[in-house]
A and B are shown apart, each in its own frame.
Chain A
Amino acid sequence: MPNPDASGHWGEFGGRFVPEALIAALDELEAAHTAALADPAFTAELEKLGREYGNLPSPLYFAERLSEEAGVEVWLKREDLNHTGAHKIRNVLGQALLTKRMGKTRIIAETGAGQHGVASATAAAYFGLECTVYMGEEDTRRQALNVARMRLLGAEVVPVTTGSRTLKDAMNEALREWVASVDHTHYLIGSVGGPAPFPQLVRDYCRGIGDEARAQFLERTGALPDVVAACVGGGSNAMGIFTAFLDDADVKLFGFEAGGDGYDTGRHAATITAGQVGVLHGARTFVLQDEDGQTIESHSISAGLDYPGVGPEHAHLAATGRAAYEPVDDAEAMAALEKLARTEGIICAIESAHGLAGALRLAKGLKPGARVLVNLSGRGDKDMGNVVEYFGFAGAPEKRGA
């Protein structure tokens, strides 16, 4: 398994850039996670939970009509069919089970649009843990439905009013709260970022995506895909599907970052493509930052990709060339979302549409019949507000013959 070194680094990336006050908790977490993964009782319980509660393993789906249009075989890993509608259930079930194992009684989480918050609240409800979710004040207004979901699930939602009032500030606030409550609280981080061991830990709980997909692909086609594609914000779904293929040298790995209004406008979230190496939220990685190292606000139509950092293992995969990362702008992602809806009857999350759009763009340069595996990381129900606005679907449908 491609683990970081003993100090939590992949090459120059990763590590622990956090207050000393958190180091003991991170050490405890690392030891607990390692022991849990080596304990057949833990892994069996997690597997059962995924199967019976999470609707795992998710299906591998051959998108026939889309493939005809694209000129390559498009295979979709249907994480959108998981409980709570995305790959995120894997991470929260793993971390919540680990929380119980560590004897902690409370989880805290950060959330942007609310998807990780809802997933965390779900896991907390399932395990009977207290749950507090930090969410940028602006996002609590825009995503009122997800706030309601979290509350229904019994979580407390704390609007964050500091800094830019977005995901990154919610993460700052969660880290602050964690320092003060670390003795009984686990920080259930939402992506493969943060200080070691979080990037590895979240990846370990998400890697089932790729492990399943690789076996399913071999079983269905007798071969491995030529290309594996996924969207990358923090990068948990992408690490989840990439990990199983890292040693398959012939399988090309592509991560698609949010290009926002267009890469050249400067209003985007293409952290690897446009960022520089720096330290954010506890890890050395690529960061969207100004000349002085102050974090720059990211922009994307997809709240889940709208983050100015990226998981350090992605930074390492980019630096070593094992995976390639390219931006996909809002327009290209929304076109892919519409195309998938109309050719396959699947409404995916706008995040996942970035991965699909990138794969379809890539397809033009591939040999006919090449096999492309796309991680369809989530479903689009949560995004219908954006969809209505973007495509102008508001108002009554036109009457026939009117």
Chain B
Amino acid sequence: MHAADAFAKTKAEGRAALVGYLPAGYPTLADSIKAVDIMIDHGADIIELGLPYSDPVMDGPAIQKAADQALAAGFRTRQVFEVTEAVAGRVPILVMTYWNLVERYGVDRFARDFAAAGGAGLITPDLIPDEAGEWIKASDEHDLDRVFLVAPSSTEERIISTVAACRGFVYAQSVMGVTGARAATSAVAPALVERTRKHTDLPIGVGLGVRSGDQAAEIGAYGDAVIVGSAIVNCYLESDDIPSGHQKLAELTADLAAGVRR
């Protein structure tokens, strides 16, 4: 299953896809599997599993905290394949990871094991296509999506070279800044999507900052996918126990799913 399968469906339904992000191993290994199931049950079209890392330079406080907690509980890279295997089959599962973890595991080995677990592809926030020779080769070899990022600061030239290297979709970072739920979404995001669309037929996902169905609807009006991360993590960070977190996640996902269907 690839990202394209989900986008074929959402396109047919004339709406944007909902992409839910959660670090694997958070709030616990078993509950991260449960959380993914909850998201899928309540309308997520694509799942993005984060790989917890000690130095997440693109993430804001919520995702940092979740990743720290997963690592403190002993999370290992290979467990992302367990989570993937447990949830794969219903919607495409992508892994979002800082590059050192993949490089350390072995780029081809990671691609092989992830593909074998039923994974769809990788989103690589600190790997630009210029540095991605080995990953491009491995993702071709193992038929995985590769999602690179474009940003408001990207030049035309870089948007062209980045989308040319993408498969599955293109990730538009909608604000200049780290991940985190924001009250207002970005004003620069529509312009970035428009600039990007000139150079690709791939779907364009918009991330960073979404926390409500209203925001999801707003972004879904111009983006092909609405990516939600910190708000999902906050369901657990702001709950007294994991079952309440699951409950909040179900409600949030339903709200977001309704948002992309407006």
Contact = CB atoms under 8 A, between A and B. Distances in A.
- A and B pair up: yes
A19 B154 contact: no
A125 to B, nearest CB: 28
Nearest to A21: B151
Contacts, number: 118
Given A7-B130, A292-B101, A293-B77, A21 B173 contact: yes
Interface string A6-26: 010000000111111111110
Interface in B144-188: 148-155, 158, 162, 173, 175-178
B56 interface: yes
Contacts of A172: 55-57
A279 B151 contact: no
A contacts with B: majority SS: mixed
Given A279-B103, A292-B105, A20 B176 contact: no
A179 B56 CA distance: 13
Interface string B214-229: 0000000000000000
B128 interface: yes
Contact of B100 (A179, A182, A280): A280
Contact of A163 (B54, B98, B149): B54
A63 interface: no
Contact of B173 (A17, A20, A162, A279): A20
Contacts of B100: 17, 278-280, 287, 289, 293
Interface in A144-173: 162-164, 168-169, 172
Interface string B115-158: 00000000001111011000000000000000011111111001
Interface residues of A, number: 38
A168 B76 CA distance: 21
A235 B152 CA distance: 33
A35 interface: no
A281 B99 contact: no
Nearest to A161: B61
A163 B64 contact: yes
B169 to A, nearest CB: 15
Contact of A292 (B76, B126, B148): B76
Interface in A261-306: 276, 278-282, 287, 289, 291-295
A24 B153 contact: yes
Contact of A18 (B54, B57, B76, B154): B57
B104 A17 contact: no
B71 interface: yes
B149 A293 contact: no
Given A21-B153, A294-B53, A16 B128 contact: yes
B191 interface: no
B255 interface: no
A169 B154 CA distance: 26
A180 interface: yes
A342 interface: no
Of residues A23, A276, A289, which shows the largest number of chain B Cβ atoms within 10 Å of its Cβ?
A: A23
B153 A182 contact: yes
A331 to B, nearest CB: 29
A179 B178 contact: yes
A175 interface: yes
A23 B148 CA distance: 13
Contacts of A101: none
Contacts of B173: 19-21
A364 interface: no
Nearest to A296: B54
A25 B153 contact: yes
A176 interface: yes
23 contacts: A7-B130, A15-B131, A16-B130, A17-B100, A17-B131, A18-B57, A18-B126, A18-B128, A19-B125, A20-B154, A21-B151, A23-B128, A23-B158, A24-B158, A162-B68, A164-B54, A176-B58, A179-B177, A180-B175, A180-B176, A182-B153, A279-B103, A294-B53
Given A19-B58, A24-B158, A279-B99, 17 more contacts: A17-B127, A18-B128, A19-B57, A19-B151, A20-B128, A20-B150, A21-B173, A23-B128, A23-B154, A162-B61, A176-B177, A179-B178, A279-B126, A280-B100, A281-B57, A293-B104, A294-B54
Interface of A: 7, 15-25, 27, 162-164, 168-169, 172, 175-176, 179-180, 182-183, 276, 278-282, 287, 289, 291-295
The 9 A-B pairs of least Cβ separation, nearest first, read A293-B104, A21-B151, A180-B177, A279-B100, A24-B153, A294-B54, A295-B54, A293-B100, A175-B57
